[in-house]
């Protein structure tokens, strides 16, 4: 899993010249070295699939359809076809008292597919002002997400589902 993540990061790095800052924010290393600079731009992308609570935090989950997003940016179909995962999951945790993102929290997500029998567990790592991961949603249908998060402020979990249309 680590190897695949790194390969994905390198591939996305190759796209940096063709696409704007939000792809830059997807590189896991970016969150550590350049925190906050592009974070705000990315956290408004994609579709909100959850808004609620996770432990002590307010939690929002957003799903970016990378294929659609990259097509919009004019990236070639050939390059898009090489992406290992076509979606990016972001979880934005906000401290309800300070209204600031919980930048120290990490977590993981278990994704159960439409057939109910297949599930995958993916770490959610710090990426600027969200935690996230590329996720593989291979076919249309109902996906269930169970997110667990932990940081200095505590820990918590959230469950939600999303219907992938195509
Ligand atoms: Cu991300």
The count of structural domains within the chain is 1
Ligand 1 centroid to residue 43 C-alpha, Å: 8
Calculate how far, in angstroms, residue 9's C-alpha sits from the geometric centre of ligand 1.
11
Model confidence pTM above 0.85:
no
Centroid of ligand 1 to alpha carbon of 141 (angstroms): 23
Q: Which residue has the higher pLDDT, 96 or 35?
A: 96
Contacts 24+ apart (CB under 8 A), 42-51: 42/90, 42/127, 42/128, 42/130, 43/90, 43/92, 43/128, 43/129, 43/130, 45/69, 46/88, 46/90, 49/145, 49/160, 49/162, 50/145, 50/158, 50/160
For the segment 10-31, what is each residue's pLDDT rounded down to a tens digit? 344 433 333 444 444 554 444 3
What CATH number should be reported for the domain holding residue 27? 2.60.40.2480
**What pLDDT does 40 receive?**
52
Give pLDDT, residue 154.
Answer: 94
Beta strand 87-94 pairing with 57-65: antiparallel
pLDDT of residue 41: 66
Higher-confidence residue: 44 or 60? 60
The boundaries of the domain holding residue 36 are 2-164
129 C-alpha to ligand 1 centroid (Å): 9
C-alpha of residue 115 to centroid of ligand 1, in Å: 26
Centre of ligand 1 from the C-alpha of residue 126, in Å = 8
The pLDDT, as a whole number, for residue 35 is: 40
Span 59-108, pLDDT tens digits: 999 999 998 888 988 999 998 888 888 899 999 999 999 999 998 899 99
How far apart, in whole angstroms, are the C-alpha atoms of residue 49 and residue 27?
Answer: 22
CB atoms within 10 A of CB 163: 10
Q: List, for residues 103-144, the tens digit of each pLDDT value.
A: 889 999 999 999 887 899 999 999 989 999 999 998 999 999
């Amino acid at each position: 899993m680590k190897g695949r993540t790194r390969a994905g990061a390198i591939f996305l790095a190759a796209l940096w010249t063709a696409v704007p800052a939000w792809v830059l924010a997807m590189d896991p290393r970016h969150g550590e070295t350049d925190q906050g600079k592009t974070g705000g731009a990315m956290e408004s992308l994609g579709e909100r699939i959850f808004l609620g609570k996770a432990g002590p935090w307010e939690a929002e989950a957003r799903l970016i359809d990378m294929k659609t997003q990259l097509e919009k940016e004019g990236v070639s179909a050939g390059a898009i076809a090489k992406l290992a995962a076509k979606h990016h999951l972001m979880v934005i945790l906000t401290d309800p008292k300070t209204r600031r993102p919980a930048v120290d929290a990490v977590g993981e997500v278990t994704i159960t597919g439409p057939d109910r029998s297949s599930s995958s567990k993916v770490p959610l790592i710090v990426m600027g002002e969200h935690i996230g991961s590329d996720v593989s949603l291979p076919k249309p249908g109902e996906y269930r997400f169970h997110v667990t998060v932990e940081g200095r402020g505590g820990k918590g979990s959230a469950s939600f589902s999303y219907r992938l249309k195509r």
